[in-house]
């Protein structure tokens, strides 16, 4: 007999009730009487927690590395450090123009429709702006890398070679400007939402994501063997800013509204991440353990990103946080 | 009005779409009997899939919450308060010191169709649009399931439908039965509501009618009756508004909902500042080291 799934489920529940005398419910609250004592409506979430999975924090991580690598490439080109510029452009291309789009598309509910992102341009949607920034960045990075490689290998001589040099300069400048936006817009993306723990920290998030991106980009290049003073300075700068953000996050509390950050395990992920890319990276770098400092910063930047998405899920599921956040 | 019979706006054909008239739902829990016919009618007309049978243990509400496959949701509130002039009590009659007040409130919740809609602003594909009647509509064939509307709705209405349900991956919510409206029909939930707890009609008519209803209820001893229509916040009012007894929190409704676009300015300022700082610091780092 062909019974619909719903009827089968009903039969299962009846069977279970017959055998065990009770079907355990999720929301039963019988302590002291019939009136439910959970906050809001039976403790149901007031806003919806994010549906995003592991791809999104990884995208934030690689987007940060890719975007800020282009900035370092721009600096290297300006100061005639061609080897470093080539490595940085490779890093920008792999992280920002290959891994980032793949992760972003993988996270979509319908990946085959990803091009629909480019149907409209909406400056009031951070997701739309992000899609355009990523597209423009990818174009600049790929063109800039090709031009730079051809120029560096001196494949094309003469006037055409000079033209290639100019083109590389223009594309790398474009990639640098778009790269700073690629690394920071993700903070706006989650900061301008209805999730209390996110929107209450909307100024901290872009600073954190952007700076973590810059430090990670420098760390990747250092781990690739480019031990130069400029990258070391950037490492010091990023770790110092992250240390300041760790202090800011510990002081800037909003009670029940952002308790996911201060009372929940995912909040600890953020703080552990911040310790790794703030104070620990700073101390290691100060004593000259550069590869260790770079590694510590990279791990911290990733763990903190995972923590921020996790905090959004906890905060969005907590009705009391939403009610409390309305005072701010 | 109640008793209008076939003259009620819930039963008449209309030309609101053609005439570009702002429409709305006014939902009144004081006449709702909790029959859930609106949930059933919505599921049937819109072919919304079954998303599982769950025993919640929360009164007679086994629907739980609005979501991708639940566009109408009847709430069952159990409160230790009086409903109007109702006399209840297991220990005594009347409202003496031993009174044990209890009330059951039913309210059919739905997408609010905000004047400033967070989901519509957030949508990067243009899948979510505003219709001629001022309601918010999702075009399923355009949606690529990015999930940004889910975190941008201040009411937690829209959600992404998980596999293995039909049309999984896209974001869904109440369409205000736009297809029915285009043919001059009343939305399925309002059409089927046996007590006209859900009323469909012109938004301005409904707002006047709702104010009148609140006054009427106050006269009958429903002291905590009030309208839930956040016109004072950045949402600037909703097309599906409610009469509620007591505080909005108990219904899972945020007292002061805000459209998340108001946070853009401070967030982008921080982003641009970080972007410029990163560029300058990088150039300085190279300048001082070479």
Q: What is the DSSP string of A282-303?
A: HHHHHTT-HHHHHHHHHHHHHH
Lowest average pLDDT, out of A214-218, A228-232, A239-243, A263-267, goes to: A263-267
Q: Which of A27, A198, A323 sits opposite B56 (nearest CB)?
A: A27
Q: What is the pLDDT of residue A216?
A: 98
ipTM comes to 0.92
Measured between CB atoms, which of B64, B171, B289 is closest to A44? B64
Kindly report, residue by residue over A17-29, the tens digit of the pLDDT.
Answer: 677 765 555 444 5
Does A216 lie at the interface with B, CB-CB under 8 angstroms?
no
B76, pLDDT greater than 70: yes
Cβ A210 vs Cβ B278: under 8 Å: yes
Task: Say yes or no for a CB contact (<8 Å) between A127 and B171.
Answer: no
What residues of chain B lie within 8 A of the CB of A181, using their CB? 271, 275
CB A270, CB A304: distance < 8 Å: yes
Helix A229-251 crosses helix A55-78 at what angle (to 10 degrees)?
Answer: 140
> B142-156, pLDDT tens digit by residue?
999 999 999 999 999
Are the CB atoms for A63 and A217 separated by under 8 Å?
A: no
Q: What is the pLDDT of residues A106-135, one digit of tens each?
A: 999 999 999 999 999 999 999 999 999 999
Cβ <8 Å between A48 and B153? yes
Residues of A in contact with B288 (CB under 8 A): 229-230, 233
Q: Which two tokens stand for residue A178?
A: 């778009």
Looking up tokens 């086994």, which residue turns up?
Answer: B62
pLDDT of A33 > 70? The answer is no
CA–CA distance, A313 with A153 (Å, rounded to integer):
49
Closest approach of chain B CAs to the CA of A79, in angstroms?
A: 7
**pLDDT(A318) > 90:** yes
Q: Identify the DSSP state of B110.
A: E
Q: Is A8 exposed, middle or buried (0-12, 13-18, 19+ CB in 10 A)?
A: exposed
Number of H helices, E strands in chain B: 8, 10
Contacts of A80 in chain B (CB under 8 A): 290
pLDDT at residue number A19: 76
Give the nearest chain A residue to B276 (CA atoms). A180
Residues of chain A positioned with their CB less than 8 A from the CB of B285: 75, 229-231, 233-234, 237
Q: Between B53, B64, B122, which is nearest A9 by CB?
A: B53
Q: What is the DSSP string of B247-290?
A: -GGGGT--SS---GGGGHHHHHHHHHHHHHHHHHHHHHHHHHH-
CA distance A189 to B46: 32
CA separation for the pair B257, B154 (Å, rounded): 6
Alpha-carbon Rg for chain B in angstroms: 23
Q: What do you get for the CA distance between the two ends of chain B, in Å? A: 81
- Across chain A, mean pLDDT equals 92
**Distance set, CA B187 to CA A233, A244, B42, B240 (Å):** 64, 55, 8, 12
Check if the beta carbon of residue A96 is closer than 8 Å to that of residue A66: yes
Set of chain A residues whose Cβ sits within 8 Å of the Cβ of B161: 109
pLDDT, residue A5, reads: 72
Q: Where are the alpha helices (DSSP H) in B87-187?
A: 118-122, 148-152, 178-182
pLDDT digits (tens, 9 = 90+) for B177-208: 999 999 999 999 999 999 999 999 999 999 99
Mark yes or no for CB contact B153/A176 under 8 Å. Answer: no
What is the end-to-end Cα distance of chain A in Å, rounded? 59
**Do A141 and A174 contact (CB within 8 A), yes or no?**
no
Residues of A in contact with B155 (CB under 8 A): 46-47
Helix runs in B157-258, H state only: 178-182, 188-192, 203-219
Residue among B227, B242, B231 at smallest CA distance from B197: B242
Residue A189 to residues A113, A194, A258, B148, B265, Cα–Cα distance (Å): 20, 11, 18, 9, 12
CB contact under 8 A, B145 and A108: yes
Q: For residue B204, which of B172, B176, B234, B239 has the smallest C-alpha distance? A: B239
Q: How far does the CA of residue A298 sit from the closest CA of chain B (Å)?
A: 17
Cβ-Cβ pairs closer than 8 A, A with B, add up to: 283
Instruction: Write the Ramachandran bin of A57: left for phi over 0, alpha for psi from -120 to 50, otherwise beta.
Output: alpha
- The string over A167-187, giving b where at least 16 C-beta atoms fall within 10 Å of a residue's C-beta and e elsewhere, is bbbebbbbbbbbbbbbbbbbb
- Of the candidates A114, A184, A202, the beta carbon closest to that of B144 is on A114
Q: Chain B contacts of A234, Cβ < 8 Å?
A: 281-282, 285
Report percent pLDDT > 90 for chain A.
82
């Amino acid at each position: 007999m062909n019974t619909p799934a719903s009827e089968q489920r009903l039969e299962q529940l009846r069977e279970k009730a017959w055998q065990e005398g009770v079907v355990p419910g999720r929301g039963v609250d019988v302590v002291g009487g019939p009136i439910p004592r959970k906050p809001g409506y039976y403790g149901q979430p007031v806003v919806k927690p994010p549906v995003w999975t592991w791809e999104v924090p990884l995208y934030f991580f690689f987007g940060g590395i890719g975007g800020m690598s282009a900035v370092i490439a721009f600096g290297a080109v300006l100061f005639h450090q061609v080897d470093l510029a080539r490595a940085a452009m490779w890093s920008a291309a792999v992280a920002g123009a290959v891994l980032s789009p793949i992760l972003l598309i993988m996270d979509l509910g319908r990946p085959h429709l990803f091009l629909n992102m480019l149907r409209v341009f909406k400056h009031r949607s951070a997701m739309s702006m992000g899609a355009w920034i990523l597209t423009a960045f990818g174009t600049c990075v790929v063109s800039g890398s090709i031009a730079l490689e051809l120029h560096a290998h001196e494949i094309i001589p003469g006037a055409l070679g000079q033209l290639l040099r100019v083109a590389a300069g223009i594309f790398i400048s474009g990639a640098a400007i778009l790269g700073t936006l690629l690394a920071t817009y993700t903070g706006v993306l989650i900061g301008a939402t209805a999730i209390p723990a996110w929107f209450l920290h909307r100024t901290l998030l872009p600073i954190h994501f952007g700076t973590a991106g810059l430090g990670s980009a420098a760390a990747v290049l250092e781990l690739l063997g480019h031990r130069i003073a400029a990258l070391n300075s950037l490492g010091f700068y990023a770790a110092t800013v992250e240390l300041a953000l760790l202090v800011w996050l510990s002081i800037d509390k909003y009670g029940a509204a952002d308790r996911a950050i201060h009372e929940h395990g995912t909040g600890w992920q953020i703080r552990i991440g911040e310790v790794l890319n703030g104070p620990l990276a700073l101390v290691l770098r100060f004593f000259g353990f550069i590869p260790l400092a770079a590694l510590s910063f990279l791990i911290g930047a990733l763990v903190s990103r995972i923590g921020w998405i996790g905090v959004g899920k906890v905060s969005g599921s907590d009705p009391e946080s939403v009610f409390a956040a309305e005072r701010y | 009005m109640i008793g209008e019979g076939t003259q009620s706006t819930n039963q008449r054909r209309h030309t609101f779409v053609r005439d570009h008239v702002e429409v709305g739902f006014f939902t009144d829990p004081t006449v709702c009997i909790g029959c859930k016919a609106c949930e059933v009618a919505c599921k049937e007309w819109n072919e919304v899939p079954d998303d599982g049978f769950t025993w919640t243990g929360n009164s007679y509400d086994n629907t739980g919450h609005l979501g991708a496959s639940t566009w109408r949701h009847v709430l069952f509130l159990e409160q230790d308060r009086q409903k109007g002039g109702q006399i209840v009590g297991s220990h005594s009659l009347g409202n003496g010191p031993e009174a044990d007040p209890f009330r059951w409130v039913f309210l059919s919740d739905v997408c609010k169709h905000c004047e400033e809609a967070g989901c519509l602003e957030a949508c990067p594909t243009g899948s979510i649009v505003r219709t001629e009647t001022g309601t918010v509509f999702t075009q399923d064939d355009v949606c690529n399931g990015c999930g940004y509307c889910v975190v941008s709705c201040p009411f937690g209405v829209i959600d992404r439908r998980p596999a293995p349900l039909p049309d999984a991956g896209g974001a869904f919510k109440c369409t205000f039965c736009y297809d029915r409206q285009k043919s001059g029909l009343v939305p399925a939930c309002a059409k089927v509501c046996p007590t006209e707890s859900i009323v469909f009609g012109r938004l301005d008519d409904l707002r006047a009618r709702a104010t009148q209803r609140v006054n009427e209820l106050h006269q009958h001893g429903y002291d905590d009756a009030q309208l839930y229509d956040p016109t004072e916040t950045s949402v600037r009012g909703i097309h599906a508004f409610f009469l509620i007894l007591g505080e909005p929190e108990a219904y899972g409704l945020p007292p002061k909902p805000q459209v998340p676009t108001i946070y853009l300015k401070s967030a982008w300022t921080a982003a641009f500042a970080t972007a410029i700082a990163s560029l300058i610091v990088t150039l300085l780092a190279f300048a001082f080291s070479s």
